[in-house]
Amino acid sequence: MLPLIVEEIRVEVMEEALQDVSAWRKKMIHYIKEENPEINAAIIDAAGRAELDPKALALGAYLSYRMLERAAKEESGVMESILE
């Protein structure tokens, strides 16, 4: 099951990304390439094949990845404190 993305995470990630969309997207390309190369390859492939703006498509994918990543870390932190 995917982690729950709460409003706070959504707002934080959006603010982080929208400060400088181009730079943030480039940073995420390199980050995800190291963290999860198969997801990065799928994003790049979809951006190249879709009849949509590839930068916009990639931005949406990277935003989703970042929000899910943050939510998973938050949930695991909650689980750790429950287990202690």
| Two tokens, residue 15 | 């603010």
Q: How far apart are CA 31 and CA 61, in angstroms?
A: 13
- pLDDT the model gives residue 48: 87
Domain assignment present for 16? no
Domain assignment present for 81? no
Q: How many domains in the chain?
A: 1
Give pLDDT tens digits along the chain (84 positions): 889 999 999 999 999 999 999 999 999 989 999 999 999 899 989 988 988 898 899 999 999 999 999 999 998 876 455 445
pTM above 0.85, yes or no: no
The domain of 65 spans 21-76
Cα 24-35-72 angle, rounded to 5 deg: 85
Domain assignment present for 59? yes
